[in-house]
Amino acid sequence: MIRDSLLVRANSAWRDKVRWAGLLHLVFYLGYPLLQRYPLRPAQEVPWLPWDAIFPFVPGAVWGYQGLFLLMPLTLLALPDAPAVRRHGWELLLIMASAFLVFLLWPTFVPRPAGAPEGFYGLMMLLDRPTNALPSLHAAFVMHTSVALWRLCPAWRWRVVAGIVGCGIVWCAGATHQHRAMDLLAGLALGLAVPVIRELVRGSPHA
């Protein structure tokens, strides 16, 4: 029954899902590397906080870090109809626009670990520069995806599972030393603020 329900959702509003997926990828893969390569001013290092002690350097965490890129499209597929797809897409655009503005006005970076290993971790370091650190878009996307899954899953057990998976991905982002606690917290705040503010605006009698 659950599988049939998921298949029905995946097939619903599929044109909207394809269009929004294409638009979101276009915006991200144009804006993100452009801001990395052409900052307005020298990037500043993200400050180290005592909370960063919970993130030992674990190169293998790169596999969990990449889990977001599986979770996000699955969440998009699970959206039930075109209005939900549009809401989801606009929220992601607002998250990216907000982060891009910060990247433009206040470039930041997280130093790469000395003597970092090669393999898949090395490939990720090659493809993604250490800048555009704060706010962490990875953490923002995790939080937004968790909010979307909260909306989609009425059963608490699935909400708990989604929360555990999201926390694991955020920890992996810190354990790869791609991010620090400050930019992860900023990203989580951004990923929560956008859908919450949109819900408040939608619920306003003047909206």
pLDDT tens over the chain, length 207 residues: 444 455 556 667 889 999 999 999 999 999 999 999 888 899 999 999 999 999 999 988 999 999 999 999 999 998 989 999 999 999 999 999 999 999 999 999 999 887 767 788 778 777 788 899 999 999 999 999 999 998 888 888 888 998 999 999 999 999 999 999 999 999 999 999 999 988 888 765 544
Distance, CA of 64 to CA of 61 (rounded, Å): 5
Q: What is the pTM of this model?
A: 0.90
The phi, psi pair for 24, rounded to 5°, reads: -65, -40
First-last CA distance in the chain? 38
